[in-house]
Structure formats: C-alpha cells, structure tokens
Amino acid sequence: MDADNLLLDVKNITKKFPLSRSGPFEKKKYVNAVKDFSVSLKRKEIFGLVGESGCGKSTVARTIIRLYRPDAGKIIYDGTDITNMEERELRPFRKKMQMVFQNPYSSLNPRHTVKEIVTQPIMFHALAVSRREAEEKAMYYLDKVGVLSSQADRYPHQFSGGQRQRISIARALAVAPDFIIADEPVSALDVSIQAQILNLLLDLREEFSLSFMFIAHDLAVVRHVSDRVGIMYLGRLVEYGPYSNIFEDPLHPYTMTLLSAVPVLGKRTMDAVVLSDEVPNAPSEDFTGCVFAHRCGRHSGRCLNETPVLREHESGHFVACWRSEM
C-alpha cells in the first residue's frame, strides 16, 4: 500500500479483559476480546468489518480510536504512533478520529437541542472564535446531513431514528475528521431508512475526503458501501480482501456461512451452511487453535491445536485457515 496514501495502520493489536475471580487467592484470568488484529486504511477508503454480535468488532473500534488502550500491538495514525499516548497527547487526534455509535436513541444528550449537540464539539476543540461562529458551522453540517434549519432547536426525542442518526453523523463531521468509525450505524433502523443513511455516508466520503471503518453484522449492508471487507470471529480477523473477492471467492468456512444467508438478486443463493453448537465465549488468553474449529464441519486435528495465521491467497486477499492451504 502506498505509504503516502496510508491513513491508518493497525498492527497486531490485542485487548483483553479480566474474568471475575471465584476467590481472593485465585490468580486473575483474562479473555481475549481482540487478538492480533491488523488492518490498514487508505485515505477515502471504506473498510467493512463484519461478524456476529459479541465477536469483538466494537472493542476493535474503541481500541483503534484509543477509548481503550491496547494490551499489545501498535496503532499508527497518519504516520504517528498513538498506541500509548496519554490523554493530553491524544487530544489533537480526537478530532481527526470520530465515531458514530449504533444506537441513536442513547448516543445523543436528551437535554440539549440538536444545534447544541453539534455545536459543543466545535467549541471544545476551539474550531470557532465565537459561539455564533460555532453555531453557524453546526447549522452547516446539519444541512449537509439533511436536517432542516427549522428543526435545529428541537430535542432528540422529537426526531425519528433515521433523523437521529443523521444528527450523530453531523456531530462527527463538525470537527472536520479524516476518519470515522461507523459502529452498526443502520442496524437499529428500518430497512427503508438504511439505504438513505448508507448513501449519505458515500456522499460524505466524496465531499469531505473521509475514510471509514464500517462495522456491521449484515454482509448485504457492508457490500453496499465497502471497498474492502474483513470477517471477524471471536476476536480474530479470519479473512479480508477486496469486497469482490470476499463475495465471489470466499475462502474461510465462517465467511461461507455468513454469505449463505445473504440473498443476492438475480443469482442462485449459496446452499445454507448450518453451524454446529452455540456461539462460544471469548477465548482465554492462552487459547491455541482456530477459534472457529468447534463450529466448523471441515476442521481437522491441526485446527484444534495450531492457530492459523493470515496468509495471502492472492493479491490483497488474506485468510487464516489451515484448510485453505490444502
């Protein structure tokens, strides 16, 4: 990838959380919410991250923008290592990296008007010389996402879910970021509204030269917006590549499983792949083997005992699966 065009380079980040101890003398144990996760992102690129609920997608997002500190690995943003920066050092980067959260009903302060909600980050980051200028900028970004000026003095509860998500996007745009993580931004919305929000994000990418990480559990939604797609399972990236490779030539059994549930107009749907067992808990920090092995109908003894690493199958298309090497 062209270094001059590289905005984000995440290298093998791990984030673990402690388990509750059953007794005061028991050694503290950890689970890996995210393990050895790597991704790079070009300017104006949209990277889609897909996986079932609980697989670690949101933890990845919060770690990348340093709401969490990683336990291992590196996060390089626009050429600067932000992995272990303290909050004061991070402040200039906070406005460069923004996040749109899944639930527009809980992510907006119900006590503030939408104009106040979008004005506050502008004032906090000193992007205007006066309150009046900040409010004018807020109105500009609300207009960009399709919220009428006549609605700016209303409160969040007076808007629909789709309109609230537009307000959340305006709040993220207000500090002129380079990179936005959209964490399940349409999953709480009606299907008819989802397409409007997805098209809005694509338009904003072009107008403001934005890069996105778009997180979802629905591959059909990710296909609509993404340049490249990553598939995540239990804290690990198991496959990633250009969206055409992922959808036309999936290599990992988990990717095949997800795709078998996605109807495609004009094409024969893949035979449904039924997984065995329930979704397991996050693996312990000393886990070895493939995290998907116990639900995979194609696993071998090697899958249970050795952890597969991401290997390039063809240009830009990587998979972590022992079976793909056979």
- Residue with token string 């939408």: 114
| Pair 69, 84: CB distance under 8 Å | yes
CA distance 275 to 265: 24
Per-residue pLDDT tens listing for the chain (326 residues): 667 799 999 999 999 999 876 566 677 888 999 999 999 999 999 999 999 888 999 999 999 999 999 999 999 999 999 999 999 999 999 999 999 988 877 889 999 999 999 999 999 999 999 999 999 999 999 999 999 999 999 999 999 999 999 999 999 999 999 999 999 998 878 888 899 999 999 999 999 999 999 999 888 889 889 999 999 999 999 999 999 999 999 999 999 999 987 665 455 455 555 565 566 777 888 889 999 988 888 888 899 999 999 999 988 999 999 987 66
Q: Report pLDDT for 265.
A: 46
CA distance 302 to 252: 15
Segments in the chain forming alpha helices (H): 57-64, 87-94, 114-124, 131-144, 161-173, 191-208, 219-225, 243-248, 253-259, 301-305
CA distance 41 to 44: 9
pTM of the entire predicted model:
0.91
For residue 81, give the H/E element and its range. strand 80-81
Angle between helices 114-124 and 131-144 (to 10 degrees): 120
Reduced to 3 states (helix: H, G, I; strand: E, B; else coil), residue 304 is helix
Q: Report pLDDT for 277.
A: 58
Q: Report pLDDT for 272.
A: 53
Q: Report pLDDT for 23.
A: 63
Closest CA to 293 of 285, 302, 284: 302
DSSP 173-221: HTT--SEEEEESTTTTS-HHHHHHHHHHHHHHHHHHT-EEEEEES-HHH
Q: Which CATH architecture has domain 3-96+177-325?
A: 3-Layer(aba) Sandwich (3.40)
Phi, psi of 266 (to 5 degrees): 85, 0
Q: Report pLDDT for 26.
A: 73
